[in-house]
Amino acid sequence: MENYLNQNRVNLIMRIKKVSEVLGNKVYTDSGEFFGEIEEANLSDNRIEGWRIRVGGSVTSMIGGAKGVIIPHQFVRAIGDVFLINKSALPSPESSMEEIPEDLI
C-alpha cells in the first residue's frame, strides 16, 4: 500500500508544470474550438488568478476584434501540451469580457 501511495505522489509531482513551460501553448475550448495562445499568467499572492490569452481564429470576431483577453483561472479545465478552457469562458455577443489594451500586447 505504501508503495502505491508513493507512486501516486510521484505521478502527481511529474504533472506539475512551471508557468514558463506553458507560455505560448495553444488554448482550446472544451468543445474543441481554437481560442488562442497563452501570453502571460496573472499572479496574486503567489497564486494564478488568470491567464492573458492572445485570441485567434474565429473567436476574434466574437469579442469585437480585441487582440487579447484575460480568462480567470477557474475556467481552465486542463493544462498540458495545450490549454483547455470551459466554453462558458467565451463571451456571449451581449456580454462584455475584459479586453487587453493595445499598448499592453
Give pLDDT tens digits for 45-82. 988 899 999 988 776 666 666 778 888 989 998 888 88
For 55, phi then psi, to 5°, come to -75, 145
46 belongs to a structural domain: yes
Q: Is 78 left (phi over 0), alpha (psi -120 to 50) or beta?
A: beta
4 belongs to a structural domain: no
pLDDT of residue 26: 94
6 belongs to a structural domain: no
User: What CATH number does the domain containing 47 carry?
Assistant: 2.30.30.240
Our measurement of the distance from residue 21's CA atom to the centroid of its chain's CA atoms, rounded to an integer in Å, reads 13
12 belongs to a structural domain: no
71 belongs to a structural domain: yes
Our measurement of the distance from residue 9's CA atom to the centroid of its chain's CA atoms, rounded to an integer in Å, reads 25
The more confident residue out of 75 and 87 is 75
pLDDT of residue 69: 87
